[in-house]
Amino acid sequence: MGSMLFSRLAQASAEVGSTRSRLAKRRALATVIAEAATGDPAEFGLVVTYLSGSLRQRRTGVGSATLGDLPDPATDQTLTVAEVDRAFAEAAAVSGAGSVAARAAIVSDLFGRATEAEHHLLRGLVFEEIRQGALESLVQDGLAEALGLPLPTVQRAAMLLGSTADTAVLARSGGTEALQAVGLTVGRAIQPMLAAPAADAAAAVGKSGLPVVVDAKLDGIRVQVHRAGQRVRIFTRSLDEITDRLPEIVEAVLDLAVSEIILDGEVVGLDGAGRPLPFQVISSRTASRTDVDAGRLRTPLSLFAFDLLHLDGRDLLDEPLHQRARTMEQHLPAGLIVPRRRAETVEEVSEIFLDAVAQGFEGVVVKNLDAGYAAGRRDAGWIKVKPRHTFDLAVTAAEWGYGRRQGWLSNLHLAARDQTTGELVMLGKTFKGLTDVMLTWQTEQVLAREVRRDRSTVYIDPPLVAEIACDGIQRSSRYPGGIALRFARVLRYREDKSPDEIDSLATVLALNPQPPPVD
């Protein structure tokens, strides 16, 4: 059982990236996974992790600065997969004074032993940007093919284990039977179900079908809460554990008259009047690992559950939502459940949406009552609908894109006009909403208006005018106006409008929403 050379992975990754055919990608992935399956068992999980575009370590302390000054690539292929993992494990382990230099030495040694192709993959793994056109989902396809397993079995096991690599290791040792035996375990996070977007209530219902429940969409942090006896664990959307940062949620769940439970929900903070706090405040709390007690006093957070996955020995994953919802209502106080209404028609959904927005909620999530919990997939079972705000803004500069946008000016600088001074005030950037045709057009237009440039950016005068959509505004220390657009995207260019006709800073500021009361 030999070690797998890291160069084999680099070659496989390049092969996967060289074709657009998903079937060919799957084939290439399956081939290398099958090879790895005959090798060192300890390396097998690593191979799958790396093919999925990630390192095993969640934090390594290695980033762009650490990769700034690297030795020339090696010519010999000697590096093994296990050695790469060892290097990043060492880098992750160092801390305290001198750690920057120590990490740099480890990284320098690693890259000094890697060939040019391996450099490419190593960088990709560090930045989680391997750009081979395949990530975890395609790797699951490849894994199923390599080991002759049914794909749905692989997908479900990966969802329940919260890990494709763990699934691979289990599949290798125990085959289909072992994967089928994987169940929900209280205390082990599963991939959360995600919502697909829709433009409005009608579009949402078109995807979800009827009848539905319509949940208020709370603008906080998604959590999965597990309780086994007196032990509670809280996980984020990416399955990071944040239990220690949310003692008040732990207590609330311990107060429930149950012994085992898994809840899915959103954590938000409420002000004195019961209105949700701004996302930035909630985010600050959940990101803080120090001074949790002080933070808790200043900004107490609350759980609003919207799904029940397990209760006292009973898995509810595959039961329809109406069943999960009813069971949840029976065991949770109303104050712990997300604001939710049932709807039978599109008109009702539309009404609830407008209502939610009027109350200041972020929007709604429309959920098919018969759907199971489709974890780890962006399933049509849940559809989110949010209001869209639009402004006509100035495009004052554009940054060169990379990857498939190489050669195009892609990321746009956006500005509104200060109504008192007449100056343009930058409010953020966006690269979203651009078709290839628009990218081509804007690259020509920006270059034709160029007044200066630096390494990444071309600045223009006069500015272009574009209609921009966003979800709202947020406080910003980065931009001179003190605000930044949230989730900005381009709808279209306004060749019919001159830069004098763009929206004012005051107009954008008027968006500032009143948070809704929650009960």
Q: Which residue of 45, 428, 463, 516 would you call a contact of DNA, by CB under 7 A?
A: 428
The site that binds DNA (CB under 7 A) totals a number of residues, namely 90
Q: Minimum distance between the CB of residue 32 and DNA, rounded to whole angstroms?
A: 15
Q: Is 320 in the site for DNA (CB under 7 A)?
A: no
Stretch that binds DNA, among 249-257, 339-347, 422-430, 495-503 (CB under 7 A): 422-430
Q: How many CB atoms lie within 10 A of CB 333?
A: 10
Q: Is 402 in the site for DNA (CB under 7 A)?
A: yes
> Which lies closer to DNA via its Cβ, residue 111 or residue 279?
279
In this chain, which of 74, 82, 93, 135 binds DNA, going by CB under 7 A? 135
Classify burial at 275, counting beta carbons within 10 Å of its beta carbon; exposed 0-12, middle 13-18, buried 19 or more. middle
Q: Pairing state of beta strands 378-385 and 194-198?
A: parallel
Beta bridge partners of 15: none
Please report, as residue ranges, which positions from 285 to 304 form the binding site for DNA (by CB under 7 A): 286-291
Say how far apart CA 498 and CA 503 lie, in whole Å: 11
Instruction: Write out the binding residues for DNA, residues 474-513 only, by CB under 7 A.
Output: 474-479, 484, 486-487, 489
411 is a contact residue toward DNA (CB under 7 A): yes
d(CA 52, CA 239): 17
Tell me how crowded residue 280 is: count the other CB atoms within 10 A of its CB.
12
Measured between alpha carbons, how far is residue 496 from residues 367, 395, 466, 492 in Å?
Answer: 41, 14, 10, 11
Interface pick for DNA out of 11, 66, 115, 153 (rule CB under 7 A): 66
DSSP string computed for 12-32: HHHHHHH---HHHHHHHHHHH
Least distance (Å) between residue 197 CB and DNA = 5
Token output for 510: 């008027």
- Scanning residues 5 to 64, which ones bind DNA (CB under 7 A)? 20-24, 53, 58-64
Would you say 126 or 311 has its CB closer to DNA?
126
- Shortest reach from residue 149's CB to DNA, in Å: 16
| Structure-block tokens of residue 176 | 């289909």
Closest CA to 269 of 251, 246, 289, 291: 246
Cα–Cα distance between 220 and 202 in angstroms, integer?
26
- Report the amino acid identity of residue 262: I
Minimum distance, C-beta of residue 326 to DNA, in the bound complex (Å): 26
Q: What's the distance, CA 60 to chain centroid?
A: 19
* DSSP letter string, 189-216: --PPPEEEEESSHHHHHHHH-SSEEEEE
Q: Which of 42, 101, 294, 447 binds DNA (CB under 7 A)?
A: 101
Is residue 70 close enough to count as binding DNA by CB under 7 A? no
**Beta carbon of residue 43, minimum distance to DNA (angstroms, whole number):** 22
CB 3 to DNA: min, Å: 25
Positions 369 through 398 that interact with DNA (CB under 7 A): 377-380, 384, 386, 388
Compare residues 20 and 455 and give the one whose CB is closer to DNA.
20
Q: Is the dihedral of CA 11, 12, 16, 19 positive or negative?
A: positive
x-or-dash string of contact with DNA, 233-272, rule CB under 7 A = ---xxx-x--------------------------------
In terms of CB distance, is 39 or 481 closer to DNA? 481
The least distance separating DNA from the CB of residue 363, rounded to whole angstroms, comes to 8
Does 455 engage in binding with DNA (CB under 7 A)?
no
- The residues annotated as belonging to the active site are 217
149 to 208, contacts with DNA by CB under 7 A?
Answer: 196-197, 207
Question: How many residues are given for the chain?
Answer: 519
The span of 125-133, 169-177, 301-309, 446-454 binding DNA (CB under 7 A) equals 125-133
CB-nearer residue toward DNA: 20 or 313: 20
CB of 179 to DNA, least distance (A): 17
Q: What is the H or E stretch that residue 464 is in?
A: strand 457-470
Residue with Cβ nearer DNA (39 or 320): 320
| From 86, 298, 314, 404, residue interacting with DNA (rule: CB under 7 A) | 404
Q: How far, in Å, CA of 69 to CA of 88, rounded? A: 17
Rounded Cα distance between 164 and 172, Å, is 12
Give me the helices (H) in 113-220, please. 116-127, 136-147, 151-161, 164-180, 201-208
